[in-house]
Amino acid sequence: MTLPGVAAGPPKAGYDVVVVGAGVQGLATAYELARSGVTDVAVLDRSWPGGGASGRNGEMIRSAFSSREWSQLFDLSLRRFSELSAELDFNILFSPSGYLVLSTTDDELRRQHLVAAKQAEYGVQSEVLDAAEVRRLVPHANPELARGGIFQRRAGFAHHDAVVWGYLRAAARAGVSVFSGVDVHAVLASGGRVTGVRTDHGDIAADVVVNAAGAYSDDLNLTAGVRLPLVKARLEMLVTEPVKPFLRCAVATPHLLGYCHQTARGEFVGGTELPGHDETDSLNTTYHMLRDMATKWVRLFPDLGGVRILRNWAGTVSQAPDLAPVLGEAPGVSGYHLSIAWVYGFMGAPAAGRLLAESIVTGRVDAVMAPFEARRLIEGRSIAESTLVLTTDGRS
């Protein structure tokens, strides 16, 4: 069975650009390359398009972060999300219903005022809500946990599969070849220049190779001799049976290490995390995470206890110590570009795809992308971002 947009037959012996990974990063980058006139592009995936974290994430979108770097990158993404349906000729069900980062203590709420002031400085509009305003916005939330929060009105969520399908079809229309079931074993380089990739379908030559391999991106880097301090992390989510709308906006709660929203179908979708990271390379779900999610979400929305869980799933990512993505050409291997270490990858893909494609085509690195280059990790610098729903494990 061939998916619309997926090429039939084996790949050619060579391309101008080979993108490894047909997730949202790889497809967005390939689409943007084709848009700038580079159409001899192959996207190779060992599984199906969007089969990894692109189809397993919380599909939430915001640009109100505490750091300039994150805010600017993700604000470009947010703007792209609002124009993507028209551009890709595919309704990605982007819902600008708002994104609330919940404060569960008054202390936390006080800090939010400082964060909001910074956001205003970066040109990102957000509002600090007090307890009463949060209760009006999220009436079913436990008032003990809803002390206030930062609300970004034009943020929200989109249908993650639709975004993958939209990019896939648009890229294919523009001439990109997307291959499913092609496993890339190594990046080939010679004299500090990339020459192609080695696959289970033979070697494929390329002037440019883009690593967008998600959880497996570090394994791929090592074959090219690129060493970055990345670790794998396993995350889980759950979805309930559909109910009538009770939660309009996306909600993240650093206190519970959780993020959630209700889809247009009526399902409540949420993920939580435990301190530390789980490096198990397995897509099996675990009972302890199911319990953690169920317990925390019922704490935040007490009446959710009466809604049945439909299913739960796991996904894997690779992440950097500062949890920020790594974007741009790899140090030491020219022609080898990275769009990896994504933890907020779905949210960042439209911006990253555009900026990375631009840098590949023009050789110039945009100021918004520059801070995310791999150099920071080699030099031991990190991007300090304080509003992430993730534990940094004391590693940053």
Partner 1 sequence: MTSAHPDESVAFTFEGRTLSARPGQSIASAILQSGTPVLTRSFKYRRPRGYTCGYDICGNCPVTVNGLPGVTSCTTPVRGGEVVRRERGWPSTDRDLLRATDLLVRFVPAGFQFRLFRSRPRLAHLAEKVMARIAGAGRFPTPQAARAVRTRTEVDAADVLVVGGGLSGCAAALGAAGSGSSVTLVHPGPLGGRANARDSVVTYDQETAPAAELAGRLASAVLAHRDIRVVDGRVMSYFETGLIPVVADGLVLECRPKHLVVATGSYDVPGLFPGNDKPGVVLADGVSRLLRVDRVVPWRRAVVMTDGDRGSALADQLERAGVEVVAIVVQEGVGDPSEPRPGSAGRQADGDRVLRGTVRAARGARALRAVDVEVEGRVRTIRADLLCVALAPRPANDLALQQQYVAAGTPQAVVGGWAGADLSASTPGLSVVGSAAGWTSEDPDRARAVGAAAGSGQGK
- Write down the least CB distance from residue 96 to partner 1, Å: 6
Measured torsion, CA atoms of residues 101, 107, 113, 118, in degrees rounded to the nearest 10: -80
Strand (E) or helix (H) holding 162: helix 160-173
Q: Is the distance from CB of 31 to CB of 171 less than 8 angstroms?
A: yes
Cβ atoms within 10 Å of 45's Cβ, excluding its own: 27
Reading the block at residue 30, the tokens are 């390939």
- Name the segment binding partner 1 (CB under 8 A); options: 90-98, 117-125, 127-135, 210-218: 90-98
Please pick, from the candidates 229, 302, 331, 332, the single residue that binds partner 1 as defined by CB under 8 A. 302
Work out whether 142 is an interface residue with partner 1 (CB under 8 A). no
Work out whether 47 is an interface residue with partner 1 (CB under 8 A). yes
Work out whether 206 is an interface residue with partner 1 (CB under 8 A). no
Q: Which of 265, 260, 267 is nearest to 236 (CA)?
A: 260
- Write down the least CB distance from residue 197 to partner 1, Å: 22
Handedness of CA 133, 139, 143, 148 (dihedral sign): negative
Work out whether 94 is an interface residue with partner 1 (CB under 8 A). yes
- Write down the least CB distance from residue 5 to partner 1, Å: 13
Q: Is the distance from CB of 147 to CB of 134 less than 8 angstroms?
A: yes
Tokens 């709660």 correspond to 253
Please pick, from the candidates 191, 306, 363, 380, the single residue that binds partner 1 as defined by CB under 8 A. 306
- Write down the least CB distance from residue 287 to partner 1, Å: 4
Work out whether 1 is an interface residue with partner 1 (CB under 8 A). no
Phi, psi (5° rounding) for residue 198? -105, 125
Work out whether 140 is an interface residue with partner 1 (CB under 8 A). yes
Work out whether 2 is an interface residue with partner 1 (CB under 8 A). no
**Distance in angstroms (rounded) separating the CA atoms of residues 24 and 57:** 11
- Name the segment binding partner 1 (CB under 8 A); options: 21-29, 110-118, 194-202, 243-251: 243-251
- Write down the least CB distance from residue 111 to partner 1, Å: 31
Q: What DSSP string describes 291-349?
A: HHHHHHHHHHSGGGGGS-EEEEEEEEEEE-TT---EEEEPTT-BTEEEEE--SSHHHHH
What angle in degrees, to the nearest 10, is found between the helix axes of 345-362 and 68-88?
90
Work out whether 245 is an interface residue with partner 1 (CB under 8 A). yes
**Distance in angstroms (rounded) separating the CA atoms of residues 274 and 54:** 21
Work out whether 183 is an interface residue with partner 1 (CB under 8 A). no
Work out whether 265 is an interface residue with partner 1 (CB under 8 A). yes
Work out whether 200 is an interface residue with partner 1 (CB under 8 A). no
- Name the segment binding partner 1 (CB under 8 A); options: 110-118, 276-284, 331-339, 367-375: 276-284
- Write down the least CB distance from residue 15 to partner 1, Å: 26
Three-state DSSP state, 354:
helix
Work out whether 244 is an interface residue with partner 1 (CB under 8 A). yes
Nearer Cβ to partner 1, position 244 or 364?
244
- Write down the least CB distance from residue 155 to partner 1, Å: 13
Work out whether 308 is an interface residue with partner 1 (CB under 8 A). yes
Cβ atoms within 10 Å of 116's Cβ, excluding its own: 20
Work out whether 175 is an interface residue with partner 1 (CB under 8 A). no
Tokens 């909600």 correspond to 251
Work out whether 279 is an interface residue with partner 1 (CB under 8 A). no
Three-state DSSP state, 239:
strand
Q: Please report, as ranges, the residues that interact with partner 1 according to CB under 8 A.
A: 47, 51, 82-83, 85-86, 89-96, 140, 159, 162, 165-166, 241-246, 262-266, 282-287, 302-308
